[in-house]
Structure 1
Amino acid sequence: MEDTSGIVAREVAFLNRAVQLGFASGRVIAVSFPDSPPADADDEHPLLEEITAYFEGEDIDFSGWEVALTMPTDRRDVLETLRSIPYGEGVSVEQLTRMTPGLDPERGEDVSLVRTSLAENPVPLLVPDHRVADGPSGAPPAVEQQLCSIEGLA
């Protein structure tokens, strides 16, 4: 991975909005979906190329991109587990809770932890919270629906 720091963004026709990526020391720290890219953001980056291909219908695996999840360890564990869910496959909050080491779907606080982790996901798409059918997402609802649609999860 290249040693990128800063913001890159590109308009994505499929979304009718932009995808904006924040980097620090080559790691992705944020993914957002503003109405348009910031005027000073670079629109050239290998990850933006992959995202463009994804929105053109290619089965892209983003797991090779390093993300920096700056959050409590238990929430990070949930999101790291979620990264293992392949393109086009969905799970429930209960299943994700069961898959995450140390969590039990019978414990309400564990299920709540999973839901909170999904809602606070700083890098939706790279950590594909749209693949959790009954969970919240770090992406805006309209974007989450389009992500599900493109992967046949809608």
Structure 2
Amino acid sequence: MIVVICGPPGAGKTSIATRLRQALVLEYPTHTISLFHSDDYSRRTYERLYEEVRETGCDEIAIVDGTFYRRRWQTRFRSLSDVRVRFVYVTASLETCLARNRARAEADRIDEQGVHVVYREFSEPAADVRIDTDECSVSEAVERVVAAVRTWM
């Protein structure tokens, strides 16, 4: 299974994805739980993520953390026919995303104009789970996704 955690920069994707992996390792000790961050790739990001996760087997759960703000990237991942792909859309207000981006370490910070562009141009996916981090904590978000994964398994 592939669980795509997507949303605008600063929405809380990486925090949720990281804690989700920890929770799923405990929940499914016989499964391989992998986490792929789009930030780990500087070029051809979504092509490289696709190449990495398309080999996910039936006893594996791959968590993919990225904006996926363009519809074509969402569609490409949904096209994986041999494995279930679920989308978790994580969002927050633009003001929250900007504030969280400013609070990041300088090396992890995104150009503020980039946050505006991605937020404005975001194509919201047909999500299996939608989480607004202005309304719920990371812990609550992880609990919701773990509950969803139980039904998807």
- TM-score > 0.5, shorter chain as reference: no
| TM-score, normalisation: structure 1 | 0.26
More strand as a share of residues: 2
- Of structures 1 and 2, the one with the larger relative CO (CA 8 A, separation 6+) is 2
More helix as a share of residues: 2
